[in-house]
Structure 1
Amino acid sequence: KYRPKSFVLLRLLSASGAKLTSKLGFDFTGFTVVPIPISKSREKDRGFNQAEIIAKAVGKEFGLSLNTSCLTRIRDTNKQFGLHKGERAQNITGAFAVKGDVAGGKFLLIDDICTTGSTLISASSALFSARATDVRCFALSRKL
């Protein structure tokens, strides 16, 4: 996921995943697409936020607006890779904050991989704490 060629592959996989989700009949009417933010240092190292690339494809497929600024990462965390479920939850807790007014909003959170759900749960909690009315999650890949 960190090599330049994977950027092109990620866009293709994202579009395919979004089309499949659409064909399965999921309804996200009225939702705003929000990618899970990564730290500034990780984005600088990679050159892109993989969740944002996926979010753009999902937004395009469903005709939804994209908001990359309402959810921010307020704390750098260790990489989740290699951590057990409890460690992942502890690592990511309190890492996100909401910027602006999201009260009453419906949000579709986007991440690249969902292993234990800790990142999506933490980000959802931040949105619900700011009085979002509905938060749903989409990950391109899921550990089985």
Structure 2
Amino acid sequence: MMTFRNRIILLVAFLGAVVTSGWLAYSHLSSTPIRCTGDVEWTIGKNRFVGTVSWRMQHREGTAIINGKLFGHTVSEVNRTIYFHYSYHQNARVLNNDRIVKTFADAADEADINVTLPGFYRTPGRELSLMIDEYRGAWLFAASNVPSLYCRKNTP
């Protein structure tokens, strides 16, 4: 016959196993947060954008903050936040742009923006498919298997 002390020890061991299993399942199944910043330079025709893109992603939603200089008809500042949600398709993330918020510093000419920036960063409702993998302590973003951004991890 088990004593009261043995029952308590067995109950504590069982609860410890349940809590540990739950934590391991949650950490394995929950998405790894992505917080990083990368330098970008896009040149389309005579227009050029030079700046940074900061990404934050977790739990199928995220933000991309883009800021820098746009060299088009005139030189102007771009500073905007793109809010999006994403889904997984095979080993890629498909980002769907929900909303773009421009700051007061974003004074770029719309014609220059439309020619230079990818659609995801300028028009709500656009889609962007990315493969995102960890590489040497940073995140490597690739579109169509072509690396497009080396994103340095931000510390929380």
Q: Provide TM-score, normalisation by structure 1.
A: 0.30
* Structure richer in strand, relative to its length: 2
Which structure has more RCO (C-alpha within 8 Å, separation ≥ 6)?
1
Q: Could you say which structure has the higher helix fraction?
A: 1
